[in-house]
């Protein structure tokens, strides 16, 4: 185990469930051989400031609790600080935690802090903004960008699913251009995944992507009809080999990506960019805690 002298834990505790998970995490950390400065952040807009205040105390380890969006949104603050990152998977998909091979329960994830080892990994970048796992273009960011404010809170899951159904009916395949600096490829697609790891939405999707490959991967689901995307989703969910039939992957240290029309890009679940963009890999830029047996 690394000889950490101190740690800071920042948990996205926006929901009532988040508050309970924070208390559970604090209890599970009892017995760690170093002090943990713990923060439950109820307003997501306060997360960055909370991390910056915690970093001012110069901890050796920063523990981020939340979903993929929380980790991606805060990881920029840790790069270049000589700090080790540990992840508490408190989200729905937890794709980054799955990529790291972490247990998905709090006690298991904290046990990795106690018994695991640090591993240096790559991060992805979209126009200079670091991200942990996967960015996407297609129906998911279209739903996220257009959903009326407060709809889910007002009508619950049924309202959100209704909006998603409406957007899927309006969704159209689009043209993708990928430029690796040597060759430009154009194709009609129904979804694009920019991946630093194989998981997206909690499902293994991108075989070619790895957190220590030194390359970023762009996987396109090709097709002229929306049913191709539905077929790919289903095949991926069940782990069927047919998920490869309609996909093509590009990899490299830097890839220029454009679409017609210009489209929103969700980065680990949050819409943060629009095409055109440049996707890059930041090789070995951060150290994270992983289980001791991880390669």
How does pLDDT run across 137-186, given as a tens digit for each residue?
A: 988 787 777 667 665 555 555 665 676 677 777 788 999 999 999 999 99
**Domains 7-122 and 134-284 fall in the same CATH topology:** no
- What CATH number is given for 7-122 in this structure? 3.40.50.10330
Q: What are the extents of the domains in the chain?
A: 7-122, 134-284
CB atoms within 10 A of CB 79: 13
Cα distances (Å, whole numbers) of residue 196 to 31, 63, 96: 34, 21, 9
Task: Tell me the chain's radius of gyration from C-alpha atoms.
Answer: 19
DSSP single-letter state for residue 213: S
Alpha carbon distance 95, 131 (integer Å):
12
Lowest mean pLDDT among 79-88, 93-102, 209-218, 220-229: 220-229
Q: Per residue in 93-133, pLDDT tens? A: 899 999 999 999 999 999 999 999 999 999 999 998 999 99
- Kindly provide the b/e burial profile for residues 223-253, where b requires at least 16 CB atoms within 10 angstroms of the residue's own CB: beebebbebbbebbeeeeeebeebbeebbbe
Alpha carbon distance 220, 193 (integer Å):
6
- Its pTM stands at 0.88
Assess whether the previous peptide bond of 293 is cis (omega < 30° from 0): no
The CATH number of domain 134-284 is 2.60.200.40: yes
Alpha carbon distance 112, 289 (integer Å):
7
Lowest mean pLDDT among 13-27, 70-84, 166-180, 251-265: 13-27
Q: What percent of the chain has pLDDT over 70?
A: 92
- Average confidence (pLDDT) over 184-201: 93
Q: What is the structure's pLDDT at 295?
A: 72
Alpha carbon distance 277, 259 (integer Å):
10
Token pair in block for residue 159: 């309202």
């Amino acid at each position: 185990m690394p000889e950490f002298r101190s740690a800071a834990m920042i948990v996205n505790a926006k929901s009532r469930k988040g508050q309970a998970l924070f208390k559970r995490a604090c209890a599970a950390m009892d017995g760690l051989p170093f002090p943990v400065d713990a923060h439950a952040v109820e307003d997501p807009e306060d997360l960055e400031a909370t991390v910056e205040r915690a970093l001012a105390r110069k901890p050796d380890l920063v523990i981020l609790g939340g979903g993929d969006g929380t980790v991606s949104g805060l990881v920029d603050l840790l790069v270049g600080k000589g700090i080790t990152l540990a992840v508490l998977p408190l989200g729905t998909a937890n794709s980054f935690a799955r990529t790291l091979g972490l247990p998905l329960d709090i006690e298991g994830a904290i046990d990795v802090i106690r018994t695991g080892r640090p591993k240096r990994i790559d991060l992805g970048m979209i126009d200079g903004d670091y991200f942990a796992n996967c960015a996407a273009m297609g129906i998911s960011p279209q739903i996220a960008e257009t959903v009326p404010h407060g709809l889910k809170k007002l009508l619950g899951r049924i309202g959100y699913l209704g909006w998603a159904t409406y957007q899927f009916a309006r969704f159209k395949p689009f043209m993708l251009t990928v430029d690796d600096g040597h060759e430009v490829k154009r194709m009609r697609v129904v979804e694009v995944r920019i991946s630093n790891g194989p998981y997206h939405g909690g499902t293994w999707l991108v075989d070619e992507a790895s957190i220590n490959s030194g390359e970023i991967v762009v996987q396109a689901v090709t097709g002229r009809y929306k049913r191709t995307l539905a077929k790919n989703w289903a095949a991926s969910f069940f782990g069927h080999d047919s998920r490869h039939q309609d996909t093509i992957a590009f990899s490299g240290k830097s890839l220029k990506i454009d679409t017609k029309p210009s489209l929103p890009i969700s980065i680990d679940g949050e819409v943060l960019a629009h095409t055109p963009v440049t996707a890059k890999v930041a090789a070995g830029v951060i150290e994270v805690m992983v289980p001791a047996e991880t390669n």
